[in-house]
Structure 1
């Protein structure tokens, strides 16, 4: 009787964590998306999640992506926070105006790096920034 030598049991490869965008990538995305005066038509069409696009379409007299009715003089992106396990990143966006005070809102991005980065939510609520 011949016994075949058995190979040691293969250890399962450790599960690789899903690829996620990091804070620097989110900041770069938001700076490119907003530019100095707000997103252009191409960004609005290709870099916004479907649910947020529907919200934008329902608000014809108000620019949901800027939380405003007009284009600002300038835009600044604040520090990005990422919640990797929740797959979301966000930053305060500050809009500067020729008249009136600066305004702030929060922009949210899906961190799933298996697909192109997109803006997924906007919170225009005052006092939360």
Structure 2
């Protein structure tokens, strides 16, 4: 009985300490936000892709700061076509699917589904993200070919 009260009190102290650190705006270290091998997790990538794509596609800031240089070169070669959305127009809504990570290849990916107009028409493509936790997350590539 005493042991459980001590454990409960210790848990409360730890929770209060965490709450105080969060309230003080203590920054999370790289190891707090990545796996033990300094790679981003599937959950972090999913969150990144949801923020990147939003409801209607990436805004100019995301396009400028969160896209790899290689992908920016590909985008420049597709005038009149939005390579990041694999489309020519802005979708009505966007969903990010389950993220898969290939730790050895240091890449993660998810299917991005776009919804169009008022109809049930959708399209899907794959977005690839760098897993290297020592750098900020960025979109590495997109594959506009429909998945199998």
TM range (shorter): 0.7 to 0.9
Preserved contact between residue 18 and residue 112 of structure 1 (Cα < 8 Å) = no
Aligned position for 2:80: 61
- Report the RMSD for the aligned CA atoms in angstroms: 1.2
How far residue 18 of structure 1 moved from its aligned partner, in angstroms, is: 3.9
Aligned position for 1:116: 136
Q: Deviations over 1:11-50 (max 9, x none)?
A: xxxxxx6410000000000000000000000000000000
Counterparts of 1:100 and 1:45, CA distance in 2: 31
Preserved contact between residue 76 and residue 95 of structure 1 (Cα < 8 Å) = yes
Aligned position for 1:95: 114
Matches within 5 A, 1:7-18: 18=37
Structure 1 regions of 5+ residues with no counterpart? 1-16
How far residue 100 of structure 1 moved from its aligned partner, in angstroms, is: 6.3
Counterparts of 2:77 and 2:95, CA distance in 1: 26
Q: Secondary structure at the match of 2:57?
A: coil
Q: Secondary structure at the match of 1:115?
A: coil
Structure 2 regions of 5+ residues with no counterpart? 1-35
| 1:33 maps to which of 21, 35, 52 | 52
Aligned position for 2:125: 105
Q: Secondary structure at the match of 1:48?
A: coil
Ranked by relative contact order (alpha carbons within 8 Å, sequence separation 6 or more), the top structure is 1
Which consecutive aligned stretches of 4+ in structure 1 deviate over 2 angstroms post-superposition?
none
